[in-house]
Every structure is written in C-alpha cells, then in structure tokens.
Structure 1
C-alpha cells in the first residue's frame, strides 16, 4: 500500500461555499485513496493564496517534509490546490512525487502538461474576453444600438453587483466560472484523445474518460449528458475530430 501525505489548501473561508473547501477536498482524496490503495499517513491544511510558491507556505513545507519522512507521495484533491502557476507545480514535483485525486493515474510528466495547458487556457480565456469587450466598446462608440445596449446592461450589472453586501453573489459566480474553466482545460486533452480514437457516441466517450480515471467536477463518473455539456463548452464535436 502506497503512503501519501494529503495537502488541502483554500484561499479564503469563502471557498467552502464555492466547492473548493477543505471538506470537499478531503472527500476527493479519501475516495481516490480507497480506489487506489493509498494509505494517508498525514494531512496538512492551510489558508493561503495559490499565488504563493508551495515552498513558501508553512503547512505545505511541512507536508513536503512529511513525504520525505514517510517515503510518501504528495497528494492534493485537484492540481490547482498546488497552485495556478505552472512553475509552482514544476517546482514541487522536483521535490516530491505528486498525485492528484481527480487524476490518480497521471504521473509527474502528465501533471506538468496539464498544469501548462490549464495556465495557457486561462490566458486564452482572459485574452478572448478582453478582445471581445474591446470590440463591443468600439461598436458602442460608433453608435451601434445593439452594442450600446449591451454595454449599458453590463455597466448596470456591475454597479448592481458592487451594491450587494461584499459582492458575494458576483464573487461566487466568478469562482464558479474560473473553476469550470480550469477543469475543462485539464480534461480537454483526455477527451480529445478519446475523439482522436474515432469514438463517435457520447456513451463511448464517457466510457473512455471513465477508463482513464477522469471524474467530473462533481466527483462522479461520466455519462452521455455530462460529455455532451463538456463538448459544447470546449467547442468539440465528432465531426471536428474526424
């Protein structure tokens, strides 16, 4: 039985409500440990921003030391619990073997690739959003009625969001969107590989993802409905994969 040290991280207490709280992370890790025969020998939890390097986080440093003490692997619920910077993920993997509960069969090389893809996807999303808003503003400045209406609605929505106490609803929405984008980026290479193998039904793709050990954002197995939603989100289709 392989020994693992569990590391749980939240950026703030509010993440408990966003689905990334310690309870959810602990459940992900426990499920993966049961399925893969891992023995959780220690657990470390801390509240710290993912922008801080793992080696500079007190509890993460303790977890790394525990891995050496127990000859154990370092396990997190999701890769972004290590950090959203690919350099942070790569730096940690130089010190310990990393396992991710949602991708239990991925080795360090695969995790490095997923981290790079996720980081690139976030950059693409940010740039596309920026370009779209700039184009919309140009149309509004040119007097196009539809664009003016959209800009006005957006401005009103932002003002309404600022008026809410601490902006909880807006922040929760942003967190949910960011979480979905990161998960989609990590899952993309897997579903593309399934489609590349000429699978042409939603059930076949679901079976492919389940065989790879990939799970949905809710921690469950894939089904045709979940696959269809993911393919729409990633703008993938069976025709494009052909």
Structure 2
C-alpha cells in the first residue's frame, strides 16, 4: 500500500533541536517497513496543533495525493477531536504507533487523549496551587531550589514574583519532560529492556538530560515514571 508521510513540529525549539522531527521520521519509517507500506512522499511543517489540518499548507499537499496519510503519533495530525473527525471524512489515516487501528478506533483514541490532556492540565493547576500555598506559608526556599534546577532564579520574593516563578518552573519542566517522551519510547521499541540500556541509547543519540549531561539509570527511571512509560511485559 502506498502512503504519504506527514510530520509536524509545533514550536521553533522543536524545529531547531531536530529531536521531535527525528523521532517522528523514525516512527514512520519503522512502521512502513513492518507493515509493507511504501512511503511515496513526505511533508514537514512547523505549525501549532490548534490549526485545522486542512488549513496547513504542507498538510494540504499531503492530502492532495488522495492516499492514506501516515503520521508518527495521532497528536502530530491534530489534538482536536473535531479536526481529526473532519480529516477522516477526506482520507484514511494511519498512525505509526497504532498501525492496525482503523479510523473509528483512532477517533476513540483521539477522544481519550483529549480527556487525558484535560486531566494533566488539572493536575498541573493543582501542583501550581500547592506551590503557591507553600510560598504563602513562607517556604520560598523550595521554590528557589526548583527554579535553580529548571535553569531560572526567583527575582525577589514578592507574591507576584513567586507566582510567576512557580508557573514558569512548572511549564519549563513539563515541556522538557515531554520533549524526551518520543526518544525514550523509541529506545524501548528498538529493544532496550533495562533502565541502563535506555540511558545508553539516549546518550548514544546525543540527547542530554535537563542539565545537558549524560543519562543514568536513576534519571531514566524518574522521567519514565513521570511520563507513565514502562517496559513491555
């Protein structure tokens, strides 16, 4: 079966790092080999997932082929269930991480993913509220420690500064953690069965820790737990 590959990176940081794109290409070509699909064209663009697929220049080109569109993960084509449902009226969608799923199943996955993002946002707000409560109680040291670990310093100790710092910390840590989800997942899919093997895989790829250093099994364990990633049984 012939397919058209579509890759999307959502920010300038992802575009410059190449990690987001590299992982997507790896997913797509691995799935194509395993399923016997022939990738006849590939399109890449940097655009927010909030923009409907039909309104993206490169995605339009992919759809114009009239062939199934293959993406690395469902959120690369879109994060809005409505957008995905509209797209499925025009083409057959294939997802590298779920190669056997049909359009109906993908629609269900999209709905579940949207709900999970809502839960994550709620948990993030709860975590921010907990930090704010600790700051209100005078526990500024803990926020300063988190800020230093995230590469920032709390400027002053007013309530407004504490609120801004804690919010920036949470956003920075969450963004970085999500940026290593695909590389870790790919290491596992390629045969890594232990924490140290994942660490070695990430180090071999030149992917640094949040501080730019090399990975250890303990660091991998903490990040995998945060991302709810695990080894296959």
Bin for the TM-score computed over the shorter chain: 0.5 to 0.7
Alpha-carbon contact 1:28-1:219 (below 8 Å) kept:
no
Tell me the residue number matched to 1:19.
19
Q: Map 1:71-220; keep pairs closer than 5 Å.
A: 72-143=67-138, 147-154=139-146, 160=152, 174-179=174-179, 216-218=185-187, 220=189
Cα drift, residue 217 of structure 1: 3.8
CA distance in 2: counterparts of 1:15 and 1:129, whole angstroms: 22
- Verify the 8 A CA contact 1:4 1:40 in the aligned structure 2: yes
Backbone CA RMSD of aligned residues: 3.6
Where do 1:48-87 residues align within 5 Å? 48-66=47-65, 68=66, 72-87=67-82
1:15-57 Cα shifts (integer Å, max 9, x gaps):
1426212x43223212211110111122222222212110110
Secondary structure of 1:218's partner?
helix
**Offset, 1:14:** 2.8
SS for the counterpart of 2:78 is coil
Runs of 4+ residues deviating >6 angstroms: none
Return the alpha-carbon distance in structure 1 between the equivalents of residues 229 and 84 of structure 2.
28
Structure 1 residue 79: deviation in Å?
Answer: 1.4
Equivalent in the alignment of 2:2: 3
Q: 1:44 to 1:155 in 2, by over 3 A?
A: closer
Contact 1:46 1:59 in 2 (8 A): yes
Per the TM alignment, residue 177 of structure 1 is displaced from its structure 2 partner at its CA by 2.1
Q: Distance in 2 between matches of 1:105 and 1:137?
A: 45
- Are 1:75 and 1:101, in contact at CA under 8 Å, matched by a contact in 2? yes
Give the CA deviation at 1:65: 1.5
**8 Å CA contact 2:68, 2:94 repeated in 1:** yes
Distance 2:180 2:84 in 1: 20
Structure 1 residue 135: Cα displacement:
2.9
The alpha-carbon distance between structure 1 residues 235 and 80, as it changes in their structure 2 partners (threshold 3 A), is closer
- Given that 1:18 and 1:176 are in contact with CA atoms closer than 8 Å, whether structure 2 keeps it comes out as no
TM-score under structure 1 length normalisation = 0.63
- For 1:4, what is the secondary structure of its paired residue? strand
Q: What's the secondary structure of 1:43's corresponding residue?
A: strand
Query: Any unmatched runs of 5+ in structure 1?
Result: 164-169, 184-214, 237-242
Alignment length (residue pairs) = 189
